[in-house]
Structure 1
Amino acid sequence: MERKRAIVIGAGFGGLAMGIRLQSLGFDTTIVEKLDGPGGRAYVRKVDGFTFDMGPTVITVPHFIEELFALERDAANLAAPDFPPETLVPEARVTSGISSGPATSKYVTLTPILPFYRIYFDDGTFFDYDGDPERTREQIRALAPEDLEGYERFHAAAEAIFKRGFLELGYTYFGDIGTMLRVVPDLVRLDAVRPLFSFVKRYFRNPKMQQVFSFEPLLIGGNPLQVPAIYAMIHFVEKTWGIHFARGGTGALVQGLVRKFEDLGGVMRYNSEVRRIIVTDEHGREPRGLRARRIARGVELADGTRLEADLVVSNGDYATTYLRLIDRKHRRINNDLRVRLARQSMSLIVIYFGFRADPRDAQLRHHNIILGPRYEGLLEDIFNRKTLADDFSQYLHIPTLTDPSLAPPGHHAAYTLVPVPHNGSGLNWSQLAEPFVDKVLRFLDERGYLPGLMDRLVHKSYITPDYFEGTLNSWLGNGFGVEPLLIQSAYFRPHNRSEDIERLYLVGASVQPGGGTPSVMMSAKMTARVIAKDYGIPDSIVRRVPESLQMV
């Protein structure tokens, strides 16, 4: 039987995971990418001897990655357990040495990072967040002894949400309202629908502990004051599987996924921006009338090249996919009004800098969260008031503390990421960015995080929301897709199967289940399952699980 063809738009984590899964389902798959290399938000910048990961740097749930690397051509694993029992035992959380599985290690080396994050407060004290309950208790006892009992209750509540919300429901595709309604009672019972910060304040009185146990949604574009408390499960996701680093940077993991995709027979096509998704009726003609079938037939590139396919999957931004790639006459459900009303996540200024090393740099860790003097007020400025405040918080990433190969000898490569409003704010980054970037770097110098940084600096570059909007085609320059609000979760989040156009599917941070590298990989598996169902792929293919995966 002739193999069917698939096209994936975008070579981010979602597109690469989707391409691998489509190849394993028996499709001949081409990934088309606007940039000159893979990664999307995880693109790599190399300059002056420094290697900078431009986007995601926190890697968790390594068995998701192992599953992808273990896939074989025409041997999908969609019926395999999503969370094999072996991945849930305490020994699965590797805290030293190498954590790559046998299939992963053929393509990339993953190494655990401890602590997960060093969280600095504005008064100079810090909290090493590592998922170890006993170590956590010691630090709470030192910083906020009044919250020891509250931590025990929070730990139990977060574990219950993790078991139900992630282990049991994580791969649930909410394609109809009935599926959603069946789980609402459980989420209400777990108190998982109230805002996360409100949930955390039930257990912690000290503002420092409230921040420690609520900041994580910021790493996936969520406002802790507004995301539902189901995101408390992130604490347990990290605690269960740890935080990992790909030797050579996140870009090494991206390149490993590209090699896996190509090993399975997939084709990468760079410098290939998509102008539109081709839509016809069942006869290959222009659809006419409301009742006419609308079927995705391929894509047209910016240079006019047409690539035909039996299905199209967009790893592009949800709003950009519908508003720019599909004519409005083909969109009844995802019409202009509905798409534009979807609230987008905040954006980022990311500063990439190289500097001469100093022994004092060892006070920092691989991942550092540096909180400003305000927490709730700053979040309101970023997400709701959409103003650029005088103060800021930041995530400082120094991978050369773990892997010196990313910088010239005697130097460090780092980036610091500052949440800012997206371009719906109207802020003029061409005027604001340069002085703001210098302000952030001077802060790191003058506050003693990187003493003497301004004199040691040898490279500085940065991106703003304009990069996300203009280069990554991210609507309003959002950094993480559709904002993870309660009213934009599960069934109410954009769907992985288009309601308007047959054979058009979506994958990535904007659709179910949401943002963050683990969720994006889950999104690819969700979408693959929907495609397998739509195309009647037999169980003999879906259930043929590679032996290496059975051992995960």
Structure 2
Amino acid sequence: MTLPTPPTPRKTALIIGSGIGGLSLGIRLQSLGFDTTILERLDAPGGRAYQKRTEDGYVFDMGPTVITVPHFIEELFALERDKAMLAEPDYPAQVLAEDARVREGESGGPRTRDYVKLVPILPFYRIYFDDGTFFDYDGDPVSTRRQISELAPEDLAGYERFHEDARAIFERGFLELGYTHFGDVPSMLRVVPDLMRLDAVRTLFSFTSKYFENPKMRQVFSFETLLVGGNPLSVPAIYAMIHFVEKTWGIHYAMGGTGALVRAFVQKFEELGGTIEYGQGVDEILVTDDRGRAVRAPVGRRVARGVRLESGQERRADIVVSNGDWANTYLRRVPAAARLVNTDLRVKAARQSMSLLVIYFGFRREGADLQLRHHNIILGPRYEALLTEIFGQKVLGQDFSQYLHVPTLTDPSLAPEGHHAAYTLVPVPHNASGLDWTVEGPKLVERVYDFLEERGYIPNLRARLTHSEFITPDYFAGTLDSYLGNAFGPEPVLIQSAFFRPHNRSEDVRNLYMVGAGAQPGGGTPSVMMSAKMTARLIAEDFGIHPSVRDGVPEQAGSRVPSAAD
């Protein structure tokens, strides 16, 4: 009598953190045939993209509000259980077509529409200068040229050159190299000649200054890296590709806020069989040698076996992935004896991105008195000097710039009837500054409110204000467990890019991976979704899972990675 062959047990995965990167990877791991559990320290999903609902009827996205590259989202919602689909084209022909950008109506793909409603936002940003003039940044060549001819006619020819050179950087840096995991030096050296040829290694501000003489245009075409934690004065010019990412696919909004997109990802993850647990902070990543013994020195094979929760409970799994802060993952959760590459010295020496003061406020509507748009960039009187103070000197200046988000201009459901919900984000130094935010935070909030009212951005704001709260770098350091209270992970400077940015596959511990803003390719909503796909590919490679398996449990024979049960 022939006994039936018992089914191959599924591999298991633990993901620390339910940010957009962690949720995206969770969905992909379920499609790879893993049984995945996401452990979230907070009481709801999202991480930096946490959404807060107040007792007086306001809904605030706590973090990211700008959504680009809708087909990244569509790709996640199209995944199915045990159908890996990692070999599919990263950029199908239809998303590169001339008419790929949706300008009106609903902008999500057919599978996205089953979960969340995306709509395009125009202009992408209204950029206000200190003299009261503004530039509506909308990706439309005719509109862009018209506004340049009005504000800085001397830069019209320069814009044409910038446009073509930024396109070349986008095509090479985003379309061709965007999903490249730089895990070794040769992988980086192969692309250096092209980046040098494109002049993509000089700083972004220096790059834009080649084309634009007018300070306003230099600011318009360099400010965007601040939304991913990068200083335009020091990030490499490869970030000029952001201009074309937005121009190609537009800026979008999830009705109900970014929190609605997060909830949709949770729904998809659970539909694929994944599990998410809240209030489950991770105290330590359990690491042993390949015989299951405690690691006492950073030599020999080191293997992640699971995690120990803050409650003391231990969870075992075949792989562990951190969607948390890169620095604190290693400094606080991986034993020092298990770290040969990501040592305390190396991690602490890394440059962290700046932090933020974010004010969440609600106010009464008064007719059509707002000239603001959904996304507003309000630049102060100084640009280069202010950036130097924030990133270099780590001090608070006498002036500030801010990103003012008023989503109720698009989606009134986020506030009580007759009211607006808004948040304004002010870049500030991280906590290496030594600033006491219990003192400086309230003072800066008052300065911001005074500015918005006195400069006429929100007339009579003080009298109309019905809700006000704020966060500082202490929120990022405490609630979000970010090293030094950074808001975006390692700063995306040249010496922390490509191979020199934290690797998605740990160099120190087998079965340990990173995903999200702290890993490659970097910060920003589209980048963390790209990070999830890159990490999923590395896991598939390590476990012998063919990336194009479509039916049944992907084969895992020949895996070079030991199991948690070993």
TM-score bracket for this pair, using the shorter chain length: over 0.9
Q: Provide the rounded CA distance (Å) in 2 between the counterparts of 1:439 and 1:192.
A: 38
1:440 has 2:462 as partner: no
Paired position in structure 1 for 2:238: 230
Q: Structure 2 counterpart of 1:267, which letter?
A: T
Identity of aligned residues (%): 69
2:498 corresponds, among 483, 490, 493, to 490
Stretch moving more, 435-444 or 287-296: 287-296
User: What does 1:466-545 align with in structure 2 at a 5 Å threshold?
Assistant: 466-539=474-547, 541=549
Q: 2 CA distance for matches of 1:15 and 1:498?
A: 16
Counting helix residues as a fraction of each chain, which structure ranks higher? 1
- Matched with 1:285 is 293
- The separation in 1 between residues aligned to 2:311 and 2:551, in whole angstroms, is 41
Inter-partner Cα distance in structure 2 for 1:52 and 1:230? 32
1:10 to 13, 17, 31: 17
267, 270, 273: which one aligns with 1:262: 270
State how far apart, in whole Å, the 2-side matches of 1:43 and 1:125 are: 34
Matches within 5 A, 1:62-101: 62-101=70-109
Deviation at 1:390, TM superposition (A): 1.1
SS in 2 for 1:362: coil
Higher mean alpha-carbon deviation, 83-92 vs 110-119, is at 83-92
Contact 1:360 1:450 in 2 (8 A): no
Partner of 2:46 in structure 1?
39
Taking the TM superposition and a 5 Å limit, the aligned residue runs for 1:240-259 are 240-259=248-267
The alignment yields a C-alpha RMSD, in angstroms, of 1.0
Q: 1:508 Cα shift?
A: 0.6
Give yes or no for contact 2:373–2:409 (8 Å, CA) kept in 1: yes
Work out whether residues 78 and 543 of structure 1, in 8 Å CA contact, stay in contact via their aligned partners in 2: no
Partner AA of 1:381 in structure 2: E
SS at match of 1:396: strand
- Match of 2:84, SS? coil
C-alpha change, 1:387 and 1:451, in structure 2 (3 Å) is same
For each residue in 1:113-170, what CA deviation from the matched residue of structure 2 results, as whole angstroms up to 9, or x when unmatched?
0000000000000000000011000000100000000000000000000000000000
TM-score (norm 2): 0.95
- Answer with 280-289 or 51-60: which moved more: 280-289
How many pairs are equivalent? Answer: 544
Partner amino acid for 1:502? R
The answer to whether the 8 A contact 1:197-1:224 is kept is yes
Determine the C-alpha separation between the residues in 2 that align with 1:69 and 1:180.
32
Q: Call closer, same or farther: CA 1:100–1:290 in 2, change over 3 Å.
A: closer
Give the TM-score of the pair, scaled to structure 1.
0.98
| Residue identity in the other structure for 2:42 | L
Task: Give the match for residue 428 of structure 1.
Answer: 436
CA deviations over 1:376-419 (Å, ceiling 9, x no partner): 00000100000011100000000000000000000000000000
Aligned to 1:30: 37
**Which 4+ runs in 1 deviate beyond 6 A?**
none
Alignment-mate amino acid for residue 45 of structure 2: P
Unmatched runs of 5 consecutive residues or more in structure 1? 545-552
Unaligned runs of 5+ in 2: 1-7, 553-566
**What is residue 151 of structure 1 aligned with on the other side?**
159
Alignment partner of 2:359 out of 327, 346, 351: 351
Report how far residue 543 of structure 1 moved: 9.3
Q: How much does 1:291 deviate?
A: 3.7
Aligned residues of 1:15 and 1:315 also touching (Cα < 8 A): yes
How far, CA to CA, are the matches of 1:519 and 1:543 in structure 2?
A: 29
Superposed CA deviations along residues 291-337 of structure 1, whole A, max 9, x for unmatched, are 43210011110001111100000001010000000111110110000
Q: Please report how far the alpha carbon of residue 288 of structure 1 lies from its aligned counterpart in structure 2 after TM superposition.
A: 4.3
1:459-479 Cα shifts (integer Å, max 9, x gaps): 000000000000000000000
Structure 2 distance, partners of 1:288, 1:384, is 38
